[in-house]
Structure 1
């Protein structure tokens, strides 16, 4: 197999004395036994995406390893010194259950401490939202989480948080990336100053748990909490460190943990993917729920920032809600509670993303609360909180099973969201209703919105080129009609334009540039195409809606909407 010279040049750098013998040995083995893998490991540098940096663990510039993360950390250290001169710099570091997460976290801590930066390192794995909380609680300048979220076992990752507790956003992200790229691997300082590394655990845990209960509890009677039958699974991840304690302390006594998935394990042995977005991941939890007659199932991903929720429908069957459904349920409940308490004054907002359900805008309008919409990723919702300090953030989410309650944590937070969804379910049950019935009532009030996601995996060099071609075709030859409905508007976030295809008028989009295309049809249908920022995937999001005059007609309307989505997918040749 022929390997390009630019790749061989990178390989030769990694065979220099800067790198350790173990790295040399692994590269040498790949050169003889697996040249294709060598090419994949070095053909590009691993990049920051919507959720930081994620990749397969191994040697090379396109892999997660001691040197790629060391270089990141050295660049961030240099940037912090430049940004906060004459201050005692502080960082917090957390890690999840993945293979090597603890080792990589210590390497990151070593590099920060070697640069004279005080490090608060969690003594054991902890949920990602606790890192965001700890960063603010300890008044740190930055924070790092070692996690690859819900990716397969061979992956790991590196999320960077800034002073406000949110992930990196412009301009800091580009400035930091530039400093990292300008560094040579020989400039990484790995010589730890152990005196600057302090381990943290119980004190922060207690503060985080108390804050979560304060933010996500809404006067649910004790009896209602005791009557709610909950099944919960951590899917072998970090939420086991927080969620059972939060629910117990909040008064939920009937919480049944899936025992086979309660032990943290980076192999995720009982699931194909530890992703609560995928129904298969909750198979064991659903079986336990049926055995126990549970009212609700909650499952979280490995770093506990997303949650999947299953509820009983009107026939008593357990069904998995999608991220848009859990988001509108939680947002509507928060708005109702804030209104009851007289806390809506006109200076509040909720948050969502451009690929999430338009129903969020309808909810905001109904309660006279602004719904701010940003790019995919909770860093943009966190940025809204930072950019509008005069406004109070109520809550918000995105379709990918994430939600944030208030601003104590500045990232999606499955710990607080789990408590909140239990509060809604407990209150609904106490009033003779259910989560599912509450959702149908919202559809009667605001219209039945149905969303669907297609995610296509395209790995490696060829996959990246294929994704690029698909987006290019949609841009250069935009569809004029889909499923018998004319395309009214095309928003292209890469060149910041919104073009009305009826009038030819073009407006400038104010949201930052991103490789996203959205088609709006004349019947209110919304179709979005977006390459993932953290995985080798291209995603297509569909949102359709119809009025619902009564709960009794919900099945009929849902059937119509499902058929509409199928027709659109077939016409666009996506399946």
Structure 2
């Protein structure tokens, strides 16, 4: 190990307040793990619009108490320069989440601000709701959402209940960079801050239950998994308050478990993540056939912090007997439901989605006389759309009550899924039937994604540089009619690292590709959409769309050098 690296590691160990990460770094030094230590000390975990997120461990490139204390001190300095106020702090059940929440409360209180902790591990939307209800200046949620078990994160909201956006992120980052030695950061003793009771949670549940109409159909059977996260208790209570029967839980995933033992990635979108939920649904269907009990109508899943919502429908043609709805499909279904129930007012309310989401939402909105807005990726942008009534993003995020929770909320989205499923069941129909209706009315909008996880982030930069240097002229036999570099701030959107291609050809009405680095994971993500006329029938349209999407993925991977 070179002398400079050893000096930096030794200095960090001397300052680190956590004996666990100190011991970890000392063991790495003793083992001569130079490459590992060099990576951990190659820079600092960057604070941005997603706050902080990374693997747990010692060193400035990991999530640990030293990094969190600095982040909290920088946030407190930023808020203090703007008048201070209350900071509400929530946390999930991941490793170190409570420690990071308590450190944040200690630093915020030590800086002369007021801190309040949620009473226990709770969903992210409860924290987002609490900020607005309590009139806080800011909120912090300690969570890594759907990341792997070795990760944790630190998400920051300002007083409007929305996640931070530029320039606030850069200003907070500058304050963090200016924090001196940790032993000079004032920290209050345990007990100096407020721990909230259940009042805020009860108010959230009342608000959540109000997203469904009183007196509507409630007859349905739901299979539910919180994916080893913190959603079970809150969703059960919300369902009961709204008049729905308790969902049939996926028992092996029902209790919070930071190791996520039954899934490779605790994300409903990942292959295999829903296997236990589908097995539970099949077992329930078999019991129903034998004893006449209700067979499951829908499977619902939250991610570990319950801000995302996934749904699956029965499908005899699928290997598991169930088919996961794509995020875009569920987004369109919820929008159609809000239109159908009169919950959105023409001429006033706005539907919004990010530029990586399906354009079907814009057609649903136009047909209903509603305004529609495109935003950059992330609810930090969607939630800020003036007049927003409903917003969604293809990555299973849905904002159905923006006046209550100005962020994605997997609990209220699950309630709307249940209400819609029950209403359709009362008509002898299902979610798949409504999807067919939307395709016939607005064209078949088929979406897919090419997502490449990398160990070396430089590979993502190289792929983006390759596409910028040699933009494709054709993809999947379709002509690229426009190629936009989103760094230039196209269409009135703020600049962002991304590329958008629009395509045309005789077999499709339109097609679109968006390529961008993930903001929360080491992934390059390519979002694909094909719109096909249903004139020849939906089966033919689906076959055409499937073929084009498959060819798009292959051609795009080649163009990006993936």
- Provide the residue aligned with 1:562 in structure 2: 546
Deviation at 1:558, TM superposition (A): 1.4
Query: Which residue number corresponds to residue 499 of structure 1?
Result: none
How far apart in 1 are the matches of 2:316 and 2:21? 58
State the shift of 1:315 in Å. 6.3
Are the structure 2 counterparts of residues 256 and 569 from structure 1 closer, same or farther at C-alpha, using a change threshold of 3 Å? same
Correspondences of 1:281-360 after superposition (within 5 Å): 281-292=273-284, 293-313=295-315, 317-338=321-342, 344-360=345-361
Q: Which residue of 1 aligns with 2:390?
A: 395
Question: Which residue of 2 is the match for residue 470 of structure 1?
Answer: 463
Paired with 2:16 and 2:241, the residues of 1 have a C-alpha distance of 51
- Matched with 1:504 is none
Note the C-alpha offset of 1:547: 1.3
| Residue pair 1:133, 1:409 contacting (<8 A) in 2 also | yes
Please point out which of 254, 270, 293 is paired with 1:278: 270
Contact (CA 8 Å) 2:303, 2:309: kept in 1 or not? Answer: yes
Q: Is the alpha carbon distance of 1:18 and 1:274 closer, same or farther for their aligned partners in structure 2, counting shifts above 3 Å?
A: closer
CA deviation string 1:459-511 (max 9, x = no partner): 2xxx1111111001111111111122211111211122xxxxxxxxxxx5321
Q: Is the 8 A contact 2:16 2:66 kept in 1?
A: no
Query: Per the alignment, in what secondary structure is the counterpart of residue 68 of structure 1?
Result: helix
CA distance in 2, matches of 1:22, 1:235: 28
Task: Name stretches of at least 5 consecutive residues in structure 1 with no aligned partner.
Answer: 497-507
Query: How far is the alpha carbon of 1:539 from its aligned partner?
Result: 0.7
1:37 maps to: 36
- Whether the aligned pair in 2 keeps the contact of 1:279 and 1:320 (CA below 8 Å) is no
> SS state of the match for residue 364, structure 2?
helix
Per the alignment, residue 58 of structure 1 pairs with: 57
Residue 23 of structure 2 is aligned to residue 28 of structure 1: no
> What TM-score, normalized to structure 1?
0.90
Where do residues 238-253 of structure 1 align in structure 2 (5 Å cutoff)?
Answer: 238-253=230-245
Cα pair distance change 1:15/1:259, threshold 3 Å: closer
Q: 1:3 to 1:232 in 2, by over 3 A?
A: farther
8 Å CA contact 1:236, 1:268 repeated in 2? yes
- The SS at the match of 1:509 is helix
Partner of 1:369: 370
Distance 1:311 1:569 in 2: 26
Task: Tell me: CA distance 1:236–1:518, structure 2 relative to 1, closer, same or farther (3 Å).
Answer: same
The corresponding residue for 1:503 is none
Q: Deviations over 1:95-120 (max 9, x none)?
A: 11111111111111111111122111
Give the C-alpha shift of residue 193 in structure 1.
4.5
Instruction: Return the offset for 1:230.
Output: 0.6
> CA 1:546 to 1:219, structure 2 compared with 1: closer, same or farther past 3 Å?
farther
* Distance across 1 between alignment mates of 2:3 and 2:460: 22
Residue 546 of structure 1: aligned partner? 532
Q: Kindly indicate whether residue 167 of structure 2 is the aligned counterpart of residue 168 of structure 1.
A: no
Q: Is the CA contact 1:542–1:565 (under 8 Å) kept in the aligned structure 2?
A: yes
Structure 2 spans left out of the alignment, 5+ residues: 285-294
Compared CA separation, residues 232 and 485, structure 1 to 2 (3 A): same
Distance 2:469 2:35 in 1: 33
The 1-side partners of 2:160 and 2:546 are apart by 41
User: Is 1:145 matched with 2:127?
Assistant: no
Q: 1:287-323 CA distances to partner (integer Å, 9 max, x unpaired)?
A: 1112223110001111001111001248694210011
**Structure 1 residues 272 and 15: alpha-carbon distance in aligned structure 2, compared to 1, 3 A threshold:** closer
Q: How far off its partner does 1:189 sit? A: 2.2
Q: 1:433 to 1:455 in 2, by over 3 A?
A: same
The residue aligned with 2:289 is: none
- The alpha-carbon deviation at position 279 of structure 1 amounts to 4.4
Q: CA RMSD in A?
A: 2.0
State how many pairs are aligned: 541
Residue pairs, 1:387-426, within 5 angstroms: 388=386, 391=387, 393-407=388-402, 408-426=404-422
Structure 1: distance between partners of 2:341 and 2:252: 37
